[in-house]
Amino acid sequence: MSPIESLAPLASSARAAGAPGPLPARGDATVGVLVFRLGGMRFALPSSRIVNVMPLGRARFEQLARMAGKGTLGTSGLPLIRLSTRLGLAEAKSPECGALVLFGSEGKVRATALIDDEPVDSRAEIQLMPEDWRSRFAPCADLIGGVARLPDGRQAAMLDMTIGVFGRKAAPAAPEAHLVVRRAGHGPEAVSVASLKAIRCPGEIAGRSYLLRLGRDGTPVPVEAILGLAPEGRVESAGPARRLVADGHSYPLLEPGRAPAERGVARVLLVMRDGPARTQAQALVRALGHHVSLADHARALELAAGRFDVVIYDVDAYGVPTGAAPSTAVCLALTGRPGRLEGFDGHLPPGDTARLVAAGLGWGPRTAS
């Protein structure tokens, strides 16, 4: 059995005969890893990012699993995910034992993860995974950073956590995300989010339409409406023209110059109730190439200092906060209330795709003043 075939529980397509193995390891150095099993599959996390590991019995695990469903570790405001759910391997029955892993740097906890197993410390050689295999590990391909070879020769899928706490990556999270727009006299068309340099919204320009600026040169393209984020699909070429084929629809691509715009990658915290609105906002922010964490508690706003570059706080859900907003983050109020709210840098109307995208195009890493 090849090394990749030993990872087959993640994707049935990886069971094909003759599948290639991972690329050779870069050198003989080993790194510390935390190893655990989910769904019959072995995984590993890098120990360098782990502050502490707390063993859990079933009762405490079930309590934390409910918190993970809301995205936040109680009133701490720290992001909390359940890895088995994120990987698509969660089981209805809670495990007899599990663990809460605290991530961060320099002893400061910045995020947490719940594991449906009791992990063990080990060391491993890290091998690269061929890029043509990555798509076969959906829906968790974005979490797999390579293959960890353990001392006994067994393999583990190396998880590269991208929940906004381990530094900023150069590559955007979703470079092929697209918005669906409509120009006057045209049907729906698609615009690559990576190519967007700016959006001017109604009220900022005459005619009450939107003005997109695309590519490094900011080519102006007026549109009547921004219909939302396109479903995930593929880009097909037909001569010089290209189209986005997604969810049974085919959208002509608007891409003057094709050159992507350059922008920073920010750590963004969404303080919102779990539901369709938060799911849509999370997808849009990820499509812009930023790292996203979730929280469902009003106190998360005051605990965000130093951990995030941008915080979007749902005022309509939690009310106007009494504590001070973090000075090191751009704080935006998600609210339908008119006017400016004290303590916030601006506001976003709920469900306004265009204004959220327009704001996100200017986000980047911030430093303390």
What pLDDT shows up at residue 177? 86
pLDDT digits (tens, 9 = 90+) for 157-175: 888 764 443 333 333 344 4
What pLDDT shows up at residue 238? 67
Query: How much of the chain exceeds pLDDT 70, in percent?
Result: 82
What pLDDT shows up at residue 102? 92
What pLDDT shows up at residue 140? 66
Lowest mean pLDDT among 45-59, 293-307, 349-363: 293-307
What pLDDT shows up at residue 334? 93
Kind of pairing between the strands at 97-105 and 50-57 = antiparallel
Judged by DSSP in three states, 97 sits in strand
DSSP 40: T
CB 117 within 8 A of CB 101: no
Paired tokens of 167: 């530094």
Element (H, E) at 234: strand 234-238
| This prediction's pTM | 0.55
Lowest mean pLDDT among 17-21, 94-98, 256-260, 285-289: 17-21
Element (H, E) at 207: none
CB 70 within 8 A of CB 103: no
Listed residue (227, 217, 226, 292) closest to 258, CA to CA: 217
Q: Is residue 256 reached through a cis peptide bond, with omega within 30 degrees of 0 on the bond before it?
A: no
Max distance between CA atoms of the chain, in angstroms, equals 68
Most confidently predicted of 28-37, 81-90, 94-103, 285-294: 94-103
What pLDDT shows up at residue 142? 66
Mean pLDDT, to the nearest integer, of 133-141?
Answer: 61
Cα 99 from Cα 117, distance rounded (Å): 7
pLDDT digits (tens, 9 = 90+) for 178-202: 999 999 999 999 999 888 989 998 8
CB 138 within 8 A of CB 166: no
CB 357 within 8 A of CB 200: no
Amino acid identity of 33? Answer: V
Lowest mean pLDDT among 87-91, 131-135, 247-251: 131-135
Confidence of residue 139 (pLDDT cuts 50, 70, 90): low
Paired tokens of 166: 């381990």
Query: Got the DSSP string for 275-331?
Result: SHHHHHHHHHHHHTT-EEEEE-SGGGTTT-TTT-SEEEEEHHHH-S-SSPPPTTSEE
Backbone angles phi, psi at 286, to 5 degrees: -65, -40
Confidence of residue 222 (pLDDT cuts 50, 70, 90): very high
Confidence of residue 367 (pLDDT cuts 50, 70, 90): low
Mean pLDDT, to the nearest integer, of 10-22?
Answer: 33
Mean pLDDT, to the nearest integer, of 221-247?
Answer: 87
Confidence of residue 136 (pLDDT cuts 50, 70, 90): low
Lowest mean pLDDT among 228-242, 296-310, 325-339: 296-310
DSSP 21: -
**How would you classify residue 167: left for phi > 0, otherwise alpha for psi between -120 and 50, otherwise beta?**
left
Most confidently predicted of 186-200, 302-316, 337-351: 186-200
Mean pLDDT, to the nearest integer, of 21-25?
Answer: 38
Kind of pairing between the strands at 178-182 and 97-105 = unpaired
Average pLDDT, the chain: 80
Confidence of residue 333 (pLDDT cuts 50, 70, 90): very high
pLDDT at 152 over 80: yes
pLDDT at 21 over 70: no
What pLDDT shows up at residue 124? 92
Listed residue (216, 214, 200) closest to 262, CA to CA: 216
Mean pLDDT, to the nearest integer, of 13-17?
Answer: 29
Cα 279 from Cα 288, distance rounded (Å): 14
Judged by DSSP in three states, 68 sits in helix
Confidence of residue 18 (pLDDT cuts 50, 70, 90): very low
Cα 293 from Cα 311, distance rounded (Å): 10
